[in-house]
Amino acid sequence: MYPDNFRYTKEHEWVSVDGDTGTIGITDHAQSELGDIVYVDLPKVGTHLDQGKSLGSVESVKAVSDIYSPVSGEVTAINTELADHPEKLNTEPHGDAWLVKLKLSDPAQVQNLMSSADYQSYIGAEK
């Protein structure tokens, strides 16, 4: 469920790294808390993101949640499919419904994030 090669944040985002490219998304726990996702607000390509700062938001009918960037870098791609199919975030949060790809400015930042096991005990504790 929570891929081992992802890193996780306390705010329920994940990041996966391939060289100096990072892919960011929200976790299955996050989408389940939000309910049916109706809209995603993403940054423009070229935007610089800072670790821990808001990169956009995810909306359900009754709630909206900021998405905080797990790492710093420059946005190279955004998942435009989500504009027409926000519901994919409910079904594929760890796969097809990634949010943004970015060129990492500091790949070492990933070290400080939670592993899959740590994240799972974190959400287990939250309950």
Partner 1 sequence: MRYLPKSDSERREMLAACGVSTPEELFEHLPEAVRLNRPLDLPPGISEYEIVQYFRDRAGETALGYASFLGAGVYSHYRPVMVDTVVSRGEFLTSYTPYQAEISQGTLATIFEFQTMICQLTGMDVANASMYDGSTAVPEAAMMAVRATGKGRVLVSRGVHPEYREVLGTYAKHQGMPVAEFGYVNETGGIDLEDLERKMDDLTAAVIIQSPNFFGIVEQVKAAGEIAHKRGALLIVLFTEAVSLGLLQPPAEADIVAGELQSFAISPSYGGPYAGIIATKEKYMRQVPGRLVGQTVDSRGNRAFCLTLSTREQHIRREKATSNICTNQALIALMATVFMTVYGKQGLRELAEQNLAKAHYLAGKLDRRFTGSFFNEFVVRAPESVNKDLLKKKIIGGLPLGRFYPELKDCMLLCATEMNKRADMDVLAEVAAIKPQPQEQEVIA
Partner 2 sequence: MIEKVTPHITQNEPLLFERSSPGKKAYQLPELDVPPVDAAGALGAENVRDGIDGFPEVSEVETIRHFTRLSTWNYAIDYGMYPLGSCTMKYNPRINEQVARTEGLAWAHPYQPEALAQGCLQVMAHLEAALMEITGMDAVTLQPAAGAHGELTGILLIRALLEKRGNPRKKILIPDSAHGTNPATAAIAGYAIENIKSSETGGVDLAALEQAVTSDVAALMVTNPNTLGVFENEIVRVSEILHAKGAMLYMDGANMNALVGIARPGDFGVDVMHLNLHKTFSTPHGGGGPGAGPVAVKKVLEPFLPAPRLKKIGKRLAWDYKRKNSIGRVKAFYGNFGVLIRALAYILAHGGPGLRNATMDAVLNAVYIRKQLEPYFDLPYKSPNMHEVVFSDDRQAAKGVRTGDFAKRLIDYGFHPYTVSFPLIVHGAMMIEPTETEGKREIDQFIQAMISIAGEVESDPQLVKTAPHLTRASRVDETTAARKPVLRWKPA
Which residue ranges make up the site for partner 2 (CB under 8 A)? 36, 38-39, 59-62, 86-87
Q: Which does 87 bind (CB under 5 to 8 A by kind): partner 2, partner 1, none?
A: partner 2
Q: Which does 36 bind (CB under 5 to 8 A by kind): partner 2, partner 1, none?
A: partner 2
Within a 13 Å sphere around the CA of 76, how many CA atoms are in the beta-carbon half? 12
Q: Which two tokens stand for residue 122?
A: 């974190």
Residue (of 125, 73, 75) closest to 101 by Cα position: 75
By the 10 Å C-beta count (0-12 exposed, 13-18 middle, 19+ buried), 75 is classed as: buried
Q: For partner 2, give the closer residue by CB, 76 or 91.
A: 91
Bridge partners for 58 per DSSP: 40, 65
Please state the closest distance from residue 61 (CB atom) to partner 1, in A: 7
| Binding to partner 1 in span 39-98, by CB under 8 A | 39, 59-64
Contacts with partner 1, residue ranges (CB under 8 A): 38-39, 59-64
